[in-house]
């Protein structure tokens, strides 16, 4: 699937809304802005749903079938490296605050 630059802009807007909403909710801005976190999450979910549906439709057009197993394997190869790096960084920085089962839960 070709990259759609306008979706990157929508992603940036949705992430900004979530960050603004969380900052406002935690007291770092006008409390009324906290409602925008929910809007940002909803926009992000719509974008994700569109992209996932597009990938599955493209696979169906190409092969005549959809393999959810292969779809999830491709997603895992894309997401797990970044997730593991994040978990490792958090564990290294905050190892004194975790118990072993906290780390196990994060890895699972």
Please give the chain's pLDDT, 108 residues, in tens.
678 888 999 999 999 999 999 898 877 778 778 888 889 999 999 999 999 999 999 999 999 999 999 999 999 999 999 999 998 899 889 888 888 888 888 888
The two structure tokens encoding residue 66: 């959809």
pLDDT at 53: 95
CB 89 within 8 A of CB 81: no
d(CA 45, CA 2): 20
> Is the full-model pTM beyond 0.85?
no
CB 39 within 8 A of CB 17: yes
pLDDT at 27: 79
């Amino acid at each position: 699937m070709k990259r759609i630059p306008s979706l990157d802009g929508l992603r940036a807007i949705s992430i900004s809304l979530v960050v603004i909403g969380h900052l406002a909710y935690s007291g770092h801005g006008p409390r009324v802005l906290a409602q925008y976190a929910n809007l940002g999450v909803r926009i992000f979910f719509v974008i994700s749903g569109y992209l996932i549906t597009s990938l599955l439709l493209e696979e169906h057009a190409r092969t005549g079938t959809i393999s959810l197993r292969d779809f999830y394997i491709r997603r895992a190869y894309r997401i797990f490296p970044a997730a593991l790096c994040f978990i490792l960084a958090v564990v290294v920085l905050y190892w004194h605050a975790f118990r072993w089962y906290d780390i196990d839960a994060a890895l699972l």
